[in-house]
Amino acid sequence: MTRVPSFEVDAVAFDLDGTLLDTVHDLAAAVNLLLAELGHPPLHTVTVRDLVGKGMASLVRKAMLRARGRAPDDAELAALLPRYQGHYENVLGRETEAFPGLLDMLVRLRDQGFRMAVVTNKATRFVRPHLDKAGILKFFDAIVGGDDAHAKKPDPAPIVMAAQRLGVPVSRMLMVGDSINDAQAARAAGCPVVLLPHGYNEGEPVHVLDCDGIVPSLAAVADCVRRAGSTVGAA
């Protein structure tokens, strides 16, 4: 049995897609609505799952490459992205599901006094509506979306921004994610990071990534953190 790591921190930051919420069905629906408009066959949800991770522009670029064998150039991508976002806005939350243990974990972390943030590459305009529809917006003290920092993960800027908005040193914030983007961004920011195996990670296993530990579930996240001087949380 793998030992769950333990961390003494003041805050916890979470990726969104593939970490807190299983959003791939909505993402795939929007991709396929766009492809249908363009006369291309749909992609299977499993295929779209492996394309998720670096933001909507990356998803549209990869989806077009898969569907027609050629990626869009910058000008075409700029024209396609608003169309995709319009479709996504219409389907947002329809088939999204919380990963098991989400609400219990958030309640436990809040009750223990941790400040919490969401740090995602998803376009900022969609983040709050997603969290609100899932009933978890109230738990977060800061949100950093894909348009807020000068670069997206794996650049460290979004994680540094989240720590600043929470008012904690980045070294005292645990990053929880599901992909190489989360791991590399946290490493570059000087932030401890754990990964969940239930996410997307562009189709690759997370166990081979450079991180501070793999936690088996969201419930285990609450077990691996504690505040300074507290006996609650990590053992």
| Token digits of residue 120 | 């995602």
For the chain, list the strands marked E by DSSP. 7-8, 11-14, 21-22, 97-98, 115-119, 142-144, 173-177, 193-195, 225-226
H/E element, 88 = helix 74-91
31-51, pLDDT tens digit by residue? Answer: 999 999 999 999 999 999 999
Ordered structural domains, the chain, with CATH = 7-23+96-226 (3.40.50.1000), 24-91 (1.10.150.240)
Using the structure block, give the residue that is written with the tokens 């243990």.
101
Rounded CA-CA distance 70/130 in Å is 31
Instruction: Please say whether the beta carbons of 96 and 133 come within 8 A.
Output: yes
pLDDT at 3: 61
Residue 82 amino acid letter = P
pLDDT at 229: 60
**Residue whose C-alpha is closest to residue 129's, from 168, 88, 163, 185:** 88
| Token digits of residue 106 | 């958030």
Instruction: Please say whether the beta carbons of 14 and 98 come within 8 A.
Output: no
pLDDT at 70: 96
pLDDT at 235: 41
Residues 6+ apart with CB under 8 A from 107: none
Q: What's the whole-model pTM score?
A: 0.91
pLDDT at 234: 47
Beta strands at 97-98 and 21-22: parallel, antiparallel or unpaired: antiparallel
H/E element, 16 = none
pLDDT at 1: 39
96-143, pLDDT tens digit by residue? Answer: 999 999 999 999 999 999 999 999 999 999 999 999 999 999 999 999
Q: What is the dihedral of CA 221, 227, 233, 235, to 10 degrees?
A: 110
Q: Would you report the helix, strand and coil content of the chain in percent, each value rounded to 5?
A: 45, 15, 40
Return the number of other C-beta atoms located less than 10 Å from residue 234's C-beta: 16
H/E element, 203 = none
**Residue whose C-alpha is closest to residue 89's, from 148, 18, 34:** 34
Instruction: Please say whether the beta carbons of 63 and 29 come within 8 A.
Output: no
| Token digits of residue 209 | 């990534």
Residues of the chain with pLDDT under 70: 1-4, 228-235
Known catalytic residues are 15
Instruction: Please say whether the beta carbons of 9 and 173 come within 8 A.
Output: yes
